[in-house]
Amino acid sequence: MELSALLEPLAGTPQTHLALVVLLLPLLAFAVLYLAGKKLPRHGDWLGIGATGIAFALSVYLFTQTWNTEVSHSRTVWFSLPSVFIAVFTAGILLDNLTVLMLVIVTFISLLVQLFSVGYMHGDRGYSRYFAYLGLFTFSMLGIVLVDNLLLLFMFWELVGLSSYLLIGFWYERPAAIAANKKAFLVNRVGDIGLLLGLFAFYTYFRTFDLEALRTLMGAGEWLNGTFVTGYTLQGQPWLVELSPLFLTLAGLGLFMGCVGKSAQFPLQVWLPDAMQGPTPVSSLIHAATMVAAGVYLVARCYPFFTVDALTVIAIIGAITALLGALAALTQYDIKAVLAFSTISQLGYMVMGMGTGAHDASLFHLTTHAFFKAALFLNAGIIIHAMHRGLHHTHQPTEVDPQDIRNMGGLRKAMPLTFYTYLLAAAALVGLPLFSGFLSKDAILSGSWAWAQTMSQTNGNSLYFVVPVIGFVVVLLTAYYMGRHLWFMFFGTFRLPFDVQALRLSASQEIERVMLIPVLLLAVLSLGIFFSLNPLSFAGSWVMQGIGLNQLSQEGALLASSLVEAVTVQDAANGTAHLVIGLLSALLGIAGIALAIGRYKGKSSEALLQEQPKGTLVQLSYHHFYLDAVYDRLLVRPVLWMARMLYRFDKRVIDYTLEYASKWLVVFSKIVKWFDNWVVDGSVWLIGAMAKVLGRFGRGLQNGKVQSYYAYSLFGFILIILYIMLN
């Protein structure tokens, strides 16, 4: 097949034109707010919200026009280079089921976060700048979702990194915020190096970044004697591509490295807990549906390019991340830290699902997680806002931490709406029946169990069951830390020395209405009925049916198609196992909550207020397994030491050498100047002077007198005679 034919320009459709409008609206809001936001009424918050609201409405329309109907794809030639080895570079927009689903999620969550921010950020000095950054962040994420090739995706990927850097360090006067945004930026660059190497590895052999063209070329290939073989025609010249499994595995893992960084997978998850230094609505935006979900979305888009070995590594990394995140969340006291480690754990679930062939289940969990995690973070923002208000109005000491759950307790009495919305979202996170998390979590557990069965039968090794077993363990841990989390905040008595009613906005109003509406909507969307008519079975979910691999890729276009097909067949045969898995996960969820309540119910308020992490294992969990300390000792300190050594070498050797070399050069130049003045110039002057003297002497001989000429001749003749006589 001719590569140029695969990259032919495609005329835009009304749907792709609308998608371009959706993409540009947040960018327009960012430009106006950043340049003139302070001059606009209300500092322009209405502009950011309006642009995002229109983008959401258009996204819903695109969803209705695209979901399970047709794929819209527009492509144009971006630029080309005159070389036989390089094809044209294209740019386009691809609208399929996954795209429009992500469009709705991103614009909806972004809209609610901006509405919530009107109340949360009211009076902040950087109000207009905050909304400008939100617009840039939304634009960047929409770009990742809409583009049809890896090069453009990487550009928007890096723009998301820049946007998150700006938002995490929004309060730049705080040293902790600056340290956090630098850490997030640098750690993500580590993963992005792998992503860059991966996409250029595929480009080296296929001469295109276009995802549809790459899928077609993959689908045209086949495995021959352990080597993947495919071919195409480039500018009339046939190209036969033979790729070893090792190369394809490493190239796929390079792409996955981008997910490891952006979606906070082991071992690069250390940046996400520190990212809590940004405003709480920013945390909701980052954790719910945008930045951290981008890694999972990338794996879904590049799913055809992963080999069986690559998927196995992905499954193991996801399981490890899910376990470490859940263990770390068990002992945290900062309200946002618990949710941050929970996000790491849930992202591990999604990645584990991708690795075990449960592609649709993983994306389903991404969808449900977006709503209940956004609800949890926004509710956390409400609680933090209320704690600040209570501490300020009652003149409490400034060292009291308003985010420490040990300083809370009994909040359900003063903040009942917050309690119930938090409870709904927490139930979805735990995965209790009738809630959305139950459906998507069980889909991943069922898929991973079928994967373990398939892999163990193929390779004769039962160790593959460790992955789904970790998944079940994480269910128990999730229920425990969320039960502990809820008990510390909402039950018992209030633990600070003032009336809990001081947390309310007023005697008749709990919080600002503009902050209440988003959390109510998100909490309601945590119910399973919105995702499946049977809220106890994921099989009938309209989301899973629309984002299956048969909907998103061509037949035979998967490098790991044999594994995925085998897992699908095994999963379909596990009818009874599905019931057991659902019942077991529900029981584990209930058991985890019961364990948490049983441990903390009998403790007094004073004991809860004074609780400290004790014991080796507890300290290990509380300090996130000392990963920061390990990286600091193994990576950061050696790099800083090397930098100091290079600095000293530069100052004491290179600069010293250059300094003294320059001094000797000055001395040498003065010597050269003296030599030039007295030797070179003196010689020239002497020659000139001698010529002048000789000229004068010669001129004296030519006096025009015949007597003188005779005398000179006689004198010369005498000299000749003397010379002859002497010799």
The last residue of a domain, from among 672, 702, 722? 672
**577 with 662, same domain?**
no
**484 with 598, same domain?**
yes
Residue keyed to tokens 């980052």: 286
- DSSP string across 442-456: HHHHHHHHHHHHHHH
Number of other residues whose CB lies within 10 A of the CB of residue 667 = 9
Whether 378 is covered by a domain: the verdict is yes
Residue keyed to tokens 């993409």: 23
Closest by CA position to 153, among listed 320, 305, 264, 299: 299
Q: Residue 9: what pLDDT?
A: 85
**370 with 485, same domain?**
yes
First vs last C-alpha separation in the chain: 104
* Cα–Cα separations (whole angstroms), residue 94 to 72, 73, 137, 202, 483: 6, 5, 20, 20, 42
Q: What is the 3-class SS of 576-593, one letter each residue? A: HHHHHHHHHHHHHHHHHH
Show the tokens assigned to 265.
């997978």
Closest by CA position to 623, among listed 610, 637, 613, 635: 613
Q: What is the 3-class SS of 192-249, one letter each residue? A: HHHHHHHHHHHHHHHCCCEHHHHHHHHHHCEEECCEEEEEEEECCEEEEEEECHHHHH
C-alpha to C-alpha distance for 524 and 527, rounded to whole angstroms: 6
**585 with 655, same domain?**
no
**486 with 426, same domain?**
yes
* Cα–Cα separations (whole angstroms), residue 239 to 88, 219, 288, 667: 16, 16, 44, 65
Q: Residue 426: what pLDDT?
A: 95
Whether 105 is covered by a domain: the verdict is no
Domain carrying residue 518: 359-548+565-612
Residue 269 amino acid letter: Q
Show the tokens assigned to 677.
């003045």
Phi/psi for 665 (5° steps) reads: -65, -35
Whether 282 is covered by a domain: the verdict is no
Number of domains in the chain: 2
Pairing relationship of beta strands 237-243 and 72-79 according to DSSP bridges: unpaired
Whether 53 is covered by a domain: the verdict is no
Q: 212 Cβ partners below 8 Å, 6+ apart?
A: 6, 73, 94, 148
H/E stretch holding 610: none
Residue 76 amino acid letter: T
The total number of residues written for the chain in this structure: 727
**Maximum distance among all Cα pairs of the chain, rounded to whole angstroms:** 146
Whether 714 is covered by a domain: the verdict is no
The parts of the chain modelled with pLDDT lower than 70 are 82-87, 289-290, 551-556, 701
Whether 522 is covered by a domain: the verdict is yes
Q: Residue 706: what pLDDT?
A: 78
Q: CA geometry: angle at 571 spanning 455 and 294, to 5°?
A: 80
Whether 46 is covered by a domain: the verdict is no
Q: Residue 613: what pLDDT?
A: 87
Q: Residue 278: what pLDDT?
A: 86
**571 with 668, same domain?**
no
**539 with 581, same domain?**
yes
Residue 317, burial from CB neighbour count under 10 angstroms (0-12, 13-18, 19+): buried
Closest by CA position to 209, among listed 152, 249, 248, 294: 152
**363 with 419, same domain?**
yes
**394 with 535, same domain?**
yes
C-alpha to C-alpha distance for 346 and 351, rounded to whole angstroms: 9
**580 with 637, same domain?**
no
Is the omega angle on the peptide bond into residue 416 within 30 degrees of 0, that is, cis? no
Q: Residue 191: what pLDDT?
A: 92
**461 with 375, same domain?**
yes
Show the tokens assigned to 354.
């991708």
C-alpha to C-alpha distance for 677 and 665, rounded to whole angstroms: 18
Q: Residue 715: what pLDDT?
A: 84
Residue 695, burial from CB neighbour count under 10 angstroms (0-12, 13-18, 19+): exposed
Show the tokens assigned to 458.
């193929």
C-alpha to C-alpha distance for 92 and 210, rounded to whole angstroms: 9
CB 254 within 8 A of CB 302: no
Q: CA geometry: angle at 321 spanning 317 and 327, to 5°?
A: 150
Q: What is the 3-class SS of 302-368, one letter each residue? A: CHHHCCHHHHHHHHHHHHHHHHHHHHHHCCCCEHHHHHHHHHHHHHHHHHHHHHCCCHHHHHHHHHH
Closest by CA position to 229, among listed 210, 251, 247: 247
Whether 594 is covered by a domain: the verdict is yes
Q: 227 Cβ partners below 8 Å, 6+ apart?
A: 242, 243, 244, 245
- DSSP string across 465-491: GHHHHHHHHHHHHHHHHHHHHHHHHHS
**591 with 445, same domain?**
yes
Residue 510 amino acid letter: E
Q: CA geometry: angle at 704 spanning 699 and 705, to 5°?
A: 120
Q: Residue 290: what pLDDT?
A: 67
Q: Residue 307: what pLDDT?
A: 92
